[in-house]
Amino acid sequence: MIEALRTPDDHFINLPGYPFAPHYLEQKNGLRMHYLDEGLREPSAPVFLCLHGQPSWSYLYRKMIPIFANHGRVLAPDLFGFGRSDKPVDDNVYTIEFHRNALIEFIETLDLQNITLVCQDWGGLLGLTIPYQMPDRFKRLIVMNTAFPTGEQSLGPGFEAWKAFNRSQPDMDVASLFKRGTSVLSDAEAAAYGAPFPSIEYKAGVRRFPELVPGTIDTPGSEHGRAGRDWFRDHSSGESFMAIGGSDPVITPAAMQSLRGNIRGCPEPMVIAEAGHFVQEWGEQVAKSALDSFG
């Protein structure tokens, strides 16, 4: 049994721009995963699977969900350790396999089909490794600042600096981090990002993610990154849309253009010059532009 904490429900009351009802799925490992489930439920409707990264949660997609919900079903799970999902207290529980297997179980349990993968940060590092294993379920891709976790390239000075900062902040002030890095946020919105993490005991998942990014081809999980990269480059035939936060100091526009080169048929990206890492804060225009590009 995995020892885990569960953030009290009253931490999620009256969060700005987040009126969505919670849904829960208990997984085989005994942990409860939270997810949002909005929009159309017709069998033929597209499914928008929105995957967040670190240190965010499904709150990140609050501006995109209403747009997508007019066109299909929208699912936004909280990864374990984040949002309203259970938070294992042992840092060592968190691995790429742990998170990836949880997402695969989520997709299979809900039997999701006709998926548009919407991903950024670890939502991409994990999400981009899944379609090669279940290609019939995935149809389209909306990708924001992220990468394939192949372990074949240096992580670069920007990411090494982020790892060092993260390591120095075991009780990271998530609200302050978002406020500094995303100028358009109000104080209340920044505080909402920190709502799931009332104390250091709830932040094992936050601490672990930067340490999991593959820096060599022998790093656990990098084999999935290479397989995902190869599938998107050589086999994917679905439509794709890329939005880039032009002011991201870690996953730069140049890095995103490199990612684009490994997504077959990916058109010229949308670049939002003032956006940083969390492109979803400009999510309304991103979502509308993506849907327009799909026709």
User: What are the tokens at 279?
Assistant: 């492109």
Query: Is pTM beyond 0.75 here?
Result: yes
Is 121 an active-site residue?
yes
Average pLDDT over every residue of 65-70: 98
Strand partners, 179: none
pLDDT for 1:
87
Average pLDDT over every residue of 228-237: 94
Distance between CA atoms of residues 161 and 109, nearest Å: 38
pLDDT above 70 covers a percentage of the chain that reads: 100
- Residue 245 C-alpha from the chain's centroid: 15
Is 173 an active-site residue?
no
In order of 22, 34, 144, the CA distances from 75 in angstroms are 11, 10, 17
Give me the sign of the Cα torsion angle 274, 276, 282, 283: positive
User: What are the tokens at 159?
Assistant: 């990411």
**216 has pLDDT over 90:** yes
* Annotated catalytic residue, options 52, 99, 224, 248: 248
Under CATH, which number does the domain 4-288 receive? 3.40.50.1820
User: Phi-psi bin for 175: left (phi > 0), alpha (psi -120 to 50), beta?
Assistant: alpha
Is 277 an active-site residue?
yes
Strand partners, 33: 25
Distance between CA atoms of residues 99 and 44, nearest Å: 28
Domain coordinates in residue numbering, the chain? 4-288
Tens of pLDDT, residues 159-197: 888 899 999 999 999 999 999 999 899 999 999 999 999
* Annotated catalytic residue, options 34, 52, 99, 121: 121
pLDDT for 154:
83
* Annotated catalytic residue, options 34, 99, 224, 277: 277
Average pLDDT over every residue of 267-278: 97
Is residue 137 within 8 A of residue 107, CB to CB? The reply is yes
Distance between CA atoms of residues 221 and 224, nearest Å: 5
Task: Give the list of residues 6+ apart from residue 195 with CB closer than 8 angstroms, or none.
Answer: 7, 11, 12, 15, 59
Task: Give the list of residues 6+ apart from residue 101 with CB closer than 8 angstroms, or none.
Answer: none
Confidence of residue 43 (pLDDT cuts 50, 70, 90): confident
